[in-house]
Amino acid sequence: MTTLKNKSIIDINDLSVSEINSILDLAEIYAKQNRQRNTPYHKLQGLGLINVFFENSTRTLMSFELAGKKLGMHTINMDVSTSSLTKGETLKDTIKTIESMLADVIVIRHSQNGVVKMIDDMVDCCVINAGDGTTSHPTQALLDALSIRNKLETLKDIKVAICGDIKHSRVARSNIKLIKMLGGNVNIIAPKELMPSDINNWGVSAFNDMDEGIKDCDVIMMLRLQIERMQETQISDKHSYHKLYGLNHKRLDNAKKNVLVMHPGPINRGVEISAELADDKERTLINYQVEMGVAVRMACLDLLTTKKQNR
């Protein structure tokens, strides 16, 4: 069985191309099996998964929970708001308590950059980054890659446009790394206020003009405005933003005829994407991405715990 060289998945750079392909290949198998709905899984029976989310989440939290349960894991979602952290307990003591309960995998989401890596250094069990500040969201990039690969067969030589709040997006950062690792090209589209200052070092083509940026693209990936992360930068006029950077059916005429439209969610309808396009199942992969998310997270849990399965 394929194993991963590291005990945790903190960043896309932690994975080699062969490891990424192993995750995607296994996830594709799980995706097909999941559609059967009656396929029993007991592969990770007896292992423990604890989800610790310091930020709100629907898709990522529920998909990790479902992935763990489908594989037979004892799965717990820790409610941070009712934990001893509210009584003054340190993050270190909370995490060490969780590890002492013999958790085999801890899935962490946190708003501050670097916290997930710090937690990984504290513990001996596996850690999966479910979103780390503005820096990294590896399993989102993996499920996006699987969605693209299943529809286009490969990521090699394709062109992906990522548009929106790039400055605050961990999804954009992880996707850029993974797409480039698999041989694809990336266009970044954002207003100047939401374009990272070091974008010239990212190995991408940067555009402030939406119509220019999506030309000849195979995939357009839209991102929401992360108002909760904006301090010095504010986009107050959402109507004007949609006019310049929102995606709708008419704007798709500037891209390839059969361009795929993606969005990691949550969606702000009428801001980064029109409601009509978001609901167009022929053009968008939004719900398909969610489905692939469960399969990818199953694959990650499976491959990370290979040694524990054989103990």
Residues 266 and 295 in one domain: no
φ/ψ (deg, to 5) at 131: 130, 115
Q: How far is CA 80 from the centre of its chain?
A: 21
Domain housing 129: 12-136+291-309
The reported pLDDT for the residue numbered 3 is: 79
Structural domain contains residue 1: no
Q: Contact 137/170 with Cβ under 8 angstroms?
A: yes
Which three-class secondary structure state does DSSP give residue 75?
Answer: strand
Q: How far apart are CA 297 and CA 203, in angstroms?
A: 28
**Helices and strands, counts by H and E, the chain:** 11, 9
Contact (Cβ atoms closer than 8 angstroms) between residue 156 and residue 217: no
Is residue 219 a contact partner of residue 259, using CB atoms and an 8 Å limit? yes
Residue ranges of alpha helices (H) inside the chain are 17-34, 59-70, 91-100, 115-122, 138-152, 170-181, 210-213, 238-245, 275-278, 286-304, 306-309
pTM for this prediction:
0.95
Residues 96 and 202 in one domain: no
- What pLDDT score does 304 carry? 96
Whether 159 and 256 share a structural domain:
yes
Could you read off the pLDDT of 106-122 as tens digits, one per residue?
A: 999 999 999 999 999 99
CATH number, domain containing residue 125: 3.40.50.1370
Residues 144 and 283 both lie in one domain = yes
Q: Do 146 and 241 sit in the same domain of this protein?
A: yes
Q: Residue 154 domain-assigned? A: yes
Q: On the CB side of 41, how many CA atoms lie within 13 Å of its CA?
A: 24
Task: Give pLDDT tens digits for 94-104.
Answer: 999 999 998 99
What is the band of 238 on the pLDDT scale with cuts at 50, 70, 90?
A: confident
- 155 and 275 share one domain: yes
Gap between the Cα atoms of 151 and 148, Å rounded: 5
- With beta carbons less than 8 A apart as the criterion, state whether 178 and 238 touch: no
Q: What is the 3-state secondary structure (H, E, C) of 190-222?
A: CCHHHCCCCHHHCCCEEECCHHHHCCCCCEEEE
What local confidence, expressed as pLDDT, does residue 311 receive? 52
Question: pLDDT averaged over the chain?
Answer: 93
Q: Which residue has the higher pLDDT, 240 or 231?
A: 240
The band of 236, judged by pLDDT with boundaries at 50, 70 and 90, is: low
**Count of structural domains within the chain:** 2
pLDDT value of position 234? 60
Q: Is residue 2 part of a domain?
A: no
* pLDDT average, residue stretch 60-74: 97
Structural domain contains residue 5: no
Ranges 28-42, 145-159, 247-261, 274-288: which has the least confidence = 28-42
- Between CA 294 and CA 280 the distance in angstroms is 22
From the number of C-beta atoms within 10 Å of its C-beta (0-12, 13-18, 19+), residue 237 rates as exposed
Please give the pLDDT value at position 19.
Answer: 98
Q: What is the pLDDT of residue 1?
A: 54
